[in-house]
Structure 1
C-alpha cells in the first residue's frame, strides 16, 4: 500500500507539472485580508469562481450559491461550521452522532460533501472556522465541478492566504456564560517584495448547558505565498486540527416527540463517551498566466485523519424508563488529491468563450473498526443493552467495550476529466455547458470474514445552463445538472454482496431563478428547483448504523436570499426556503408518499447589523424552522421553533474592539437537530459571549 501511494504522489507532483501547459486550475486566488476590528469587508460576495473553476461573477452562475463572509462570521462570533450553517435556509443540521458535521441539503443527508479551496475534505469531524475567509454553500447537483456526491449541494470553505503587500496581526479572546472560552491569533508577515507568511492559530475550551460536556480544540494553520513575477503565484499551506470532546448523542423520544423534562440529562457514560480527531492537511498550488487569455493552475493535497469515538446512547424510552446501548469506533483515512485545469478566454467569430479543460486524480485509503458495549447484569453476565429508570442522573450499570465486531478497509481510486464552455451570445444571453467523466474504483475487505469485493463505475455528469441578462446587473437562468454516488455510501465502507452489485445513486437537479445586484454592495437571488434521486439508500430507522433501499425520492422548493449593505450603516443577510420532499416508490423501508427526514417545510433566517455611530453598532438575528421528521419512519417529529439572537459592537479605539453576542435571547425551548428517532439534540438556552479583538 505505501508503494502505491508513493507512486501516485510522484505522478501528481511530477507528471502533473509536466502536463501544466495543457491542464491547470483557473480561478484567481486573491490574498485574503486579515479581518480584525476596523477592517470591514461587508456581507455581500460576488465571486462565483468556486462554482465554475473559472473567473465568473456570482451573478453569472446558474445555480443557488450562498456565501457567508468573514465579516459576518465575526459579527456572529461563530467558531464552528455547523453554527454558521444554521443561518442558511435550505440547510438543516444533524447531530452527527455527537462527533461530526452532518447536514441535509435539499433533502439529501451527507457527511462527506465538504471541501476546502475546492478540494475534497470528506472525513467525519467537526470543521473549525479560525483560518477561513468565507463559507460557500453551492446547492443542487454539483458533480460536474466537484465529482461524486454533492447531490443536494456542497459546502466549500475558502482559506485565508498570506499577503506580500502588508504586515498585520490580530488577536481575539472570548468567553461565554456556560464557561466556554477561546483565544485566537492571525499574523501576516511579508518576507520580501514577492513572498509572505501567515499563521492562524486557536485554542478553544468547550462547555455548554448539558450536565456532562467538555473538551478542547487546538488548531494551527501556517501558509506561504510566493509571487516570483506578475504572471505566477505559488501558495502552500498546512493545517493541524486536534479535537477532543465528550460524545453527546442527545435525548430519546417519547410518544412521537423529544422526551420532555430531560434536556440537560446526559444519556451516556462520562468515562466511555469520548471523541478524538487529529487531522493533518497539506496543500500546494501553482498558478500561472501564459497570456491575457490563457491561465493555468495545478493543486496537490495530502490529508491524514485519525479518529476514535466511543459512545453510550439512548435507544428508546417510555414515560419512566430508557433503553441504552452503545459502541466505539476507530477510523483512519489518508487522501491524495491532484487537480489541474486550463482556462482559455477568447472569441470565435461573434461568440465569447470561457473554456475550461480539467483533470483530477485521487486515492483514498480508509480503515475502520467497531466494538459494541457490554453492560454488567445482575447475574454476573453481560448484555448489549440495558434498561434503567429515567432520572436527572442515570444510574447505568458498569460497562465496557467488547472485542471488535466489525473491521474493514477500503481503497478508492478516482480518475476524472471534464470540459466546460461558457459562451456569451452578445450582451444578453449566455450558455454554460459541461461534461465530466469519473472512473471510480472501490476495493474493500472485511477483515473479520475475509470477504473481499471490488467495483468499478464509469459515470458521466453533465451540466447545462441558460442565462438571460436583460441588463448587466440582472440574470434570469435555468439549469440542469446530474450527480452520482457509489452505493458504498458517502464514507465508502466495506462492500457486501448486495452493495457490490448495485448501480450508483443518481441525482438530477432542475432549477430556474433570478439574481439581481441591486447596488454595488447588495444582492438578491431567488430560485425554484426540483431534485430527483434514484437507486436511493437511507438510514434504517429500525437499525441505526445500517441502511435500507428507498427507491426514488423527490425534493422541490423555492429559495430566496438578500445579502449586503442596505445603507452605509446597515448590513443584512436574509433568507427563506420552502421545501417538500417525499419518497416516490414503495419499498420495505417506507411506502410511497412518506416525507423525507430532516426537511422542514419552512426555514427563515435574518441577521442584521446597524452602526449607530462609527464606533458603536447593534446586531440582531432570528432563525425559524418548521416541524420536521427525524427519520423516514415519520414516527418522531421535532417541533417548530424560533430563536432570536442579538449583539452589541463597540470599537474602543482603531486597534481595540469589544462585542457581546447573546444567543437565544428569549430563552426559547427547542430541539434543532437529530440523528435517529432517539438521538435528538436539545437547543441551548440563553447564552452570552463576550469577545475582545486587538489588532497590531
Structure 2
C-alpha cells in the first residue's frame, strides 16, 4: 500500500471528471408537470414571497416520495427563511435552535455535535452525500438544514448513530430569473457581503451563482478571521422526464483558533471571558474545500424512476494552537501543536424507485448502492517550550493577557495516512396495507475496508468489516393528518473512530461499535403548513472499548451507554403571518457498563436534561414584522469525567424586519438580549467556550 498526500492540478481535474461520471442519490425537488411528489426534498424558491418554516417533504429520511408526517423518525428542519430571519451564516449557529442537539466547541476549528448523546465530527452530509472532513460549514449556498435523529445507517451508511445532519443546496431554476444581494454588520465589527443570482439560459436550462465574503470578530481578545465562498450550479432539462444538475463550491476559511477558557473548582473559570489563552499569530486555522457534484435523474414512467450522481471533495486543512490545560487560580498550564490534514473523497450513489401495487398492497420500493473512496493524510508538529528539546507543557501566571513563553515545533511528531473503500447496497420497501397501516422495512449491507499506516514508525494496519444495518417501522393512520408510529434501526461505527485516520494494533482486532434506536411517536398536521410531532426513544451504544479489569493490558468490548428521552416540536404557520419553530427535548444519558476508565452510572457529556429552543416571526403587515427566539439548556457536564459542570442558561434573541419597498428590506437582530453570561459548549474540562454577550447586527437586502 502506498500513500501520497500530494495534490496536483492535474489530479484535481481528473477527479472532477471522474466525479461527473459517477452515480449518487439526488436530494433535490423538481417541479413535475403532473405535480407528483419528488423523492427529493422540495426546493424553496428565493423570491419576494416567503415560504415560512414548514416543510412537508420527508424524502431525505427514506430516499423515496414520503410526506414528513409518514416518516417513522424524528426530523427537525431549518428552512432558508428561518436562516435569514435569524441572520445566521454558519451551520453551528443555526443548530443552536434545534432541541436535542448540543454543540461541542470543536477545538475552535470545526463543526462538532452531540445528537441524542452521541458525539460526532463526521455525520454531516451535503445533498445526502457524506461531507465528513473537520471544518466549519457555511450556509450561503444552502436552502435548508435537516437534522435526522436516531440511528440512520440504512440511508446514510456507517456512523450516524445518534443521527445525521444534511444540508440541501440551492439549485438553478429554469424559467425564472431572480437575484438578491445583502450586506450586514454587527456591534463587534464583523461584517459580510453576499449575493445569489439565478439566470435562465434557455427554456430548459439555467445557471445560479451564490457567493459570500465575511469578516469575523467577537468579544474574545485577538479573535478575528474571514470566509470566502462561491458556488455555481447549472440545471439542464433535456426532456420532460430527465434533469441534469452540475454544481461546484469553493470555501476558503481563515480564523483564529480559540480554545476558550479552562475550569476552576468544577466550573468554568469566570472573570476571564475575554482572555485569549493562546499565542496571537500562531493560533490560526485555515481550510480550503472544493466540492464538485453531478446528478442525472430520469423518470421511465409514473411508477419507475432512477437517479445517478457523483461527488468529488478535496479538503486541505491546517490549524495551530496554544491550549489551556488547567488552572489553580494563580497559574495556568499551556501546551500546543500544529495539525495538518488533507482528504479526498470520491462518492458515487444510485437509486431506483418503483411505486406500484401487488395484489392490492401498495409498495414504494427503493434499491440502491453507494461507492466511496477516501484518501486521508494527517500530520502533527508538537510544541516544546524554551528549546526544541524542552518540555511540552508550561505554567504561566493567570492574567487578563496571557504571556506565552518562547516555544519551538518538533516536526512530524505524528504522521499518518489512510485509504478507505466502502461498498454498499441497500433495499427498502414501504408497504401500504389499506388506508390505515404502513410498514417500512429495509436493510443495508456495507463493506468497510480500511488501510492505515503510521509513517513515523512505518507501521501499517488494516481491517475489513462487513455489516448489515436494518430498519423497521410501522405507521398507523387513523386519519390523513395523523400518524402514530414505532420504529427500530441500527448503525455501526468502526473502532478507528469518526475520521478513520489511523488503526491502532488494538483497534484493528476489534469489531465495530453498535447503535440500536427504538422510537415511538405521533405526528399531527392540523393544517398543511403546520406539523406537531412528539416521540419517546431509547438509544443504546455497545461494543465500546474497556480495559479488562482482570487483565489490565487488554481491551474488551463490554462498554455500553444508553440515552432515553422525549422530544416534541411544533413547526410551521401558527396563524396567518405567524411562523414558528419550537422544540423541546428531555435526555437521560448514562454509561451503563464501564467505558475505558469511566464507571457505570456516569452521566454522558454535554447532554442537558432539558433543552428548549424556539424561534418565531410575526408579520403585522406585508412591510413590518418582528421575530424572537429563546434557548434554554439545563446544566451539563463538560466531559465524561463529570468533574466540571457547565451551568444552565437561558438566552433570548430579538429581531425586526422592515420592507422599504418590494425590492429593498432592512433587518435588525439582537443576540443575547439580556446579556446572559453563560458557557454553552466545551471540548473536555479545560477548553470551555464563553458565549457572546449582547450583540446587535443590521442587514440590508436588495432583490431584483
TM-score (norm 2): 0.94
- Distance of 2:116 and 2:14 partners within structure 1: 39
* Alignment correspondent of 1:361: 371
1:353-374: CA deviations, max 9, x gaps? 0000000001000000011111
Structure 1 residue aligned with 2:258, among 236, 242, 248?
248
The question of 1:372 aligning with 2:344 is answered no
How has the CA–CA distance of structure 1 residues 587 and 115 changed in structure 2, closer, same or farther, with 3 Å as cutoff?
closer
How has the CA–CA distance of structure 1 residues 587 and 73 changed in structure 2, closer, same or farther, with 3 Å as cutoff?
closer
1:295-694 correspondence to structure 2 within 5 Å: 295-376=305-386, 382-536=390-544, 551-694=559-702
Mapped contact 1:358–1:417 kept (Cα < 8 A): yes
Mapped contact 1:166–1:189 kept (Cα < 8 A): yes
Give the drift of 1:7. 11
How has the CA–CA distance of structure 1 residues 334 and 587 changed in structure 2, closer, same or farther, with 3 Å as cutoff?
closer
TM-score (norm 1): 0.95
Structure 1 residue aligned with 2:92, among 82, 87, 90?
82
1:553 match: secondary structure: strand
How has the CA–CA distance of structure 1 residues 432 and 381 changed in structure 2, closer, same or farther, with 3 Å as cutoff?
closer
- Distance of 1:372 and 1:609 partners within structure 2: 49
For structure 1, the residue ranges without an aligned partner over 5 or more in a row are 18-25, 539-546
Mapped contact 1:566–1:572 kept (Cα < 8 A): yes
1:496-515: CA deviations, max 9, x gaps? 11010010000000000001
The question of 1:27 aligning with 2:39 is answered yes
* Alignment correspondent of 1:20: none
Mapped contact 2:20–2:309 kept (Cα < 8 A): no
* Alignment correspondent of 2:32: none
1:41-62: CA deviations, max 9, x gaps? 0111011010000111011100
Mapped contact 1:550–1:583 kept (Cα < 8 A): no
1:676 match: secondary structure: coil
- Distance of 1:684 and 1:60 partners within structure 2: 39
- Distance of 1:662 and 1:193 partners within structure 2: 43
- Distance of 1:109 and 1:559 partners within structure 2: 18
1:234-264: CA deviations, max 9, x gaps? 0010000000000000000000000011110
How has the CA–CA distance of structure 1 residues 681 and 548 changed in structure 2, closer, same or farther, with 3 Å as cutoff?
farther
1:50 match: secondary structure: helix
- Distance of 1:537 and 1:667 partners within structure 2: 42
* Alignment correspondent of 1:271: 281
- Distance of 1:381 and 1:29 partners within structure 2: 56
Mapped contact 1:32–1:162 kept (Cα < 8 A): no
1:382 match: secondary structure: coil
Aligned-CA RMSD value: 1.9
- Distance of 1:14 and 1:225 partners within structure 2: 16
Count of matched residue positions in the alignment of Structure 1 and Structure 2: 676
Give the drift of 1:570. 1.0
Structure 1 residue aligned with 2:293, among 266, 273, 283?
283
Give the drift of 1:32. 3.9
How has the CA–CA distance of structure 1 residues 600 and 537 changed in structure 2, closer, same or farther, with 3 Å as cutoff?
farther
- Distance of 1:422 and 1:16 partners within structure 2: 23
- Distance of 1:309 and 1:550 partners within structure 2: 35
How has the CA–CA distance of structure 1 residues 565 and 432 changed in structure 2, closer, same or farther, with 3 Å as cutoff?
same
Give the drift of 1:586. 2.4
1:11-410 correspondence to structure 2 within 5 Å: 27-28=39-40, 30-35=42-47, 38-376=48-386, 382-410=390-418
Give the drift of 1:588. 4.6
